[in-house]
Amino acid sequence: MAISSTINKVTLNIANMDRNYYQHHELTVAQHPSETDFRFMIRLIAFMVNASERLSFTKGLNSDDEPDLWQKTLTGDIELWIDLGQPDEKRIRKACGRAQQVIIYTYHERKAKVWWEQQQEKLQRFNNLKVLHINAEDVDMLIKRSMQLQCNIQDGELYLNDDDSNFIISMDTLYSSNTD
């Protein structure tokens, strides 16, 4: 018998002063059985930072042909492709060919550092790529089947809280092409 995904309900209030985006989201997000709580929260953080009416979660770990999140135009073109972790160069090349903008969020500092040292030269040829590292230690403490989160983003820092906990999450830009 296969283990099924965990379904999480997330009520999310976003106030992004950097992008002038202020919105309330009611999300139902599946957590793959092999996805850790920490990775799940990183996926939510990636959503918060890039939130829009058309940004959506995909099949994620269940599909090799889709990113973790994407934003499509009304005609089905991919505007934004968001991957997490340390994807291989072939996957990044494919994403950069299919989407107007690609963002990769790394999140395990030691693994990300080794990956970036190996990939840095190869990836600088892509003019629609951005690579960021999310510093969000212990953010997985927020995870519950039903979450109510408040997210404030200002000057590149994300302030995330629920009724019990507060987190300050920062991001380091590893690479950003000139066409952002």
Domains of the chain by start residue, with CATH:
6-176 (3.10.640.10)
Helix 109-123 × helix 89-98 angle, to 10°: 60
58 pLDDT band, cuts 50/70/90, is very high
DSSP summary character for residue 60: G
For 108, residues 6+ apart whose C-beta sits below 8 A from its C-beta are none
Per-residue pLDDT at 1 exceeds 50: no
Buried b (16+ CB within 10 A) or exposed e, 103-134: bbbbbbeeebeebbeebeeebeebebbbbbbb
Average pLDDT over the chain reads 93
According to the model, what pLDDT value does residue 65 have? 81
Q: Which residue(s) pair with 27 in the sheet?
A: 10
Q: Quickly list H helices, the chain.
A: 37-50, 89-98, 109-123
